[in-house]
Structure 1
Amino acid sequence: MKDFMDLTKFPPKSQYKDSCKNIFFSYSQNNSNFQQGYLGIQQTKITGILNIRRPITNPLLTDKIEIIFTGKEFVKWNEAEVGNNISNKFIELSYIIWESSIKGVYQKITELDLPFEIPLPDYLPASLLFKRPITSKIYYILKAKISRPTKYFGLKCDVKIVSVMCPITRWNLPIKPTSLLIPMVRTSNPTSKGVEYEVNLYQTTLGIGNSIIIPISLTLENMKVYVKRIKICLKEYHQLMQKKVVHYNSEDIVKSEIFGDQLMLVSGTMNKYEIKAKLDLVTKNQEKPILPSVHSDHIVIWHKIEVKITLNDAPKIKFEKEVNVVNTICEEDASMITEERRRSNWSKMDKLSAKAVYNLLIN
């Protein structure tokens, strides 16, 4: 037992929905979670081990053990709309990982480790949880369903359930800024106060944990007009839907500010400013993490970059652009995946070439 404990990591107790001290899950050797592979980039699977440790004096009697992987979408409305609560199961995969060698005969098990592997479809959304405006989540559960003889008269069999939460993350390859700027807004003519402005993005898909640069150009023809503050923020929108009931919420997740006295004139000009504003999409030390963009049957999350320029003696300039927010892998892992794909493609081509030569020879 000691060697087994040294080699394997276990989900925390708080992750269990139905627990049993002598039947429990563990991660596959050298892994620290159930998900293996980058969902959204490569073929991904759930792997783990179901461990049974029963005393000899009280063995487990069973004739079949199943592993069930389930994904659900949950929205809990307020008390006035409780009838509209959502608990939607959008995937369920079941696999028999152990069966009695004699059909219908229960066998005694005291110590057994049952590895399992479940391929995941590429379309699955990531796990998520938020509580405003309404508690909502997408979550996945791994369940061990153990058939055993019943203790109740008239029933042939009973089941023992052990279940644990199984977080799922979706991934994207690293985001490379485009060589051409993506316009957010620009003036075709100066405003009535003599203000010209242009704001651009280098990318509209943003990686959580990364930083983005937002180029801003301002020309102030009126000497009474000056910049008091530039505020940039990532806004997150939540929309929860059930038939005719829709709840909608938005909030600022990340923001940065530049004050007028921090701006520098473009060399050789008296009224032109060029700013490269920076927005850090980090989640460390944040009270509320950034959620990735998602679109499921009942939960939609999307994001916008919003820019506000507050001026003296001129109307405030405000505009926004929708962006996609994702989890991104590191460059090293991306290179490894690209190399694996290249080798796989060459291998397929070699097999096709060999088959073509064979067909020519036999014909």
Structure 2
Amino acid sequence: MNKNPAVTHSAAKELAMFLFCSTVYRLFSGALLVSLTWTILNQNEGGYWPLALAIFCSFIPAFITPAIIKRLAIRMNGRQMSSWFVFGLTALALVSGVSRDFTVGLLITNLFVWLMIMSLEASLDMWFTQLQRGMDETKVRRISGATTATSQAALMIGPLLAAGLMPILPGMGFSLVLSGGFFMVAAICFTRASLPTVVTETDQVVAPAKLPLTLFIPMVLIWPILGAFNFMLPVYVSNHGWALFELGVLDAVFGMGMALIGVLVIIANTGRNLMAYLSGLIALAVISTSMWLLMPDTLLLKALSLLILGMAFGGARVHIRVAIACRYSEAAVGLYVSRANALATPVLLLILSLQLAMIENAWLLPFLLVTLSVGLLLQTSATRFAQGHSRGEVVSV
């Protein structure tokens, strides 16, 4: 491990830049996604089909994301890719304002927004992998907890930002605010010099057979869980006669739960007892499901249930991120994440179909999927994989 003070200082600055850019990007993307979801839901007087179509089409870009990441990785590192993808969101935020009164326009805009977001998630994981190179796994887990806490806090505030600003910034006003925020992040990423890249790692990809299914399946389920949650929440809010404020609060507390688990990971040093950590996540998922099913339909109790669910889901994402970042190269991480996103699309289609068929109980699926994901991560192969000390086997691409 390089102990050169200049290199260490550079790495610290790069980490700070990563935290800032990923946090602010998620703040504005959370606001943009909630505004799109709510606007689409209200285009057809509360009909659910446009919303279901929007959520499903959101994941169609996942099929081409692996090819995009693989091609761009030849010429760019994760930070450089992230800057271009955020530039794309800058333009799309403006388009969302222009098309706010047209359902088809909103659906197309939503499709391209998700193309940028899915590509960004892969490129940010690549950037994170580059940052953690040479660190021990416990430190990586704490850094991952910090990024999860800050990012989810931003996602928590994003829906509230939309709920607060949309009524007072009619027309293009809200879209201009979002576009300005995205442009700032993109410009900072674009002008910031990155850490040197190790050529031998960017030219290699981990052999696919070496990634355990008990880890890969939860990776595949990440986006379907979010899609199922994004469908069930507006439906639940609309059915109960609530408004955008309640939607923003419930969406925000789910993100708050993910932020809270990130803070707990930093404090508790969970890398030393993964079995206890993952068992605790399952307990949280079961408690959250029981609360939603058995407690009265009040905003406070539903918010508490989603807070706990967010902790379980966020904890699983922290575990997955550290497991792959500590084992594979930057290019391999980007490829695995994009492949998981591609496979997530047919899974999401099945889940949305089930939710439409059982619309009154559409809430149940995201809760069960979180429990399933953590259960798979608890399996011996996934836990042993995450605790390993050697990097994954690689093959040339």
Question: One fold, TM greater than 0.5?
Answer: no
- Structure with greater helix percent: 2
Higher relative contact order (CA 8 A, sep 6+): 2
Instruction: Return the index of the structure with the highest Cα Rg.
Output: 1
TM-score per shorter chain, which class? under 0.3
TM-score norm. by structure 2 comes to 0.22
Question: TM-score, with normalisation over the residues of structure 1?
Answer: 0.23
